[in-house]
Amino acid sequence: MGPKIQKILASLVMCPVCMQPLGETEHACCQWCWQRLQLPQKTRCPQCAIEVTFDGLCGECLSQPPYFDYSYCLSDFDWPYAALIKKFKYQKQRSLAKLFAQQMWLQFSDYSYDVEQFVFVPMHWWKKHRRGFNQSQALCQYLSQFSQIPTDALFKSTFQTKSLAQLNAKQRQIALIKRFSLRAKPKLKHIVLIDDVMTTGATLNCLSKQLKAAGVQRVGVWLIARTAKPNKTGT
């Protein structure tokens, strides 16, 4: 293929964020959007990544620590990430997975030196069929590509319960335990769970609890976004 044709083809590829021609870039979006997506880091709780006003654990992690040891996120669930995540999940914009994973790897790779595996949140086959893909799995696939750290489907989703939003906290916990189960005991020390958004952290906590019970020593969480104010109905 001649360079001229290559150039024409490149001009046809669109930036998944602004829908303008991608142009020459090593990123999964155009240079302009890439700059816009680099947000200043906030002070966050090291365990659950919620924004805090002082260095140290948030009140919730102090009183009821989750089973995961640490969390990193790119942003709050806010502009511009919130809109992009909605596009990613509900308009099936799979191309955004590469962009998010690229950003995650850029920002979190410093903390990855002894991570042995990325693990995604499983999705019931019916939900996956309806949505077209599992967003957590798509992020894992790209992160594995960038990092050479393998991804494994450690969990299976066995139950399709009612929407968790309809349940109270106790019912939700029971529903989650029924929903997710380990396929096999991982013989690993350090695992990172990958997800798009953490709200209450109930799902990630449920998975972490099972990993810890199976002997995993360190469980981390990498996210695109963290909801600033956890409401009690999310996952």
Least distance in angstroms from the C-beta of 29 to Zn ion: 5
Q: Which is nearer to Zn ion, 45 or 74 (CB)?
A: 45
- As a whole number of angstroms, the distance between CA 66 and CA 48 comes to 8
| Structural tokens at position 227 | 């909801």
Q: Which is nearer to Zn ion, 35 or 217 (CB)?
A: 35
Planar angle of CA 74, 79, 84, nearest 5 degrees: 75
Q: Which is nearer to Zn ion, 29 or 123 (CB)?
A: 29
List contacts with Zn ion (CB under 5 A). 15, 17-18, 29-30, 33, 45, 47-48, 58, 61
Give the Å distances, CA to CA, from 206 to 116, 155, 176, 235.
Answer: 20, 11, 7, 10
Least distance in angstroms from the C-beta of 43 to Zn ion: 12
Least distance in angstroms from the C-beta of 158 to Zn ion: 29
Q: Which is nearer to Zn ion, 140 or 219 (CB)?
A: 219
- Whether the CB-CB separation of 123 and 89 falls below 8 Å is answered with no
Least distance in angstroms from the C-beta of 58 to Zn ion: 3
Residue with tokens 């350090």: 190
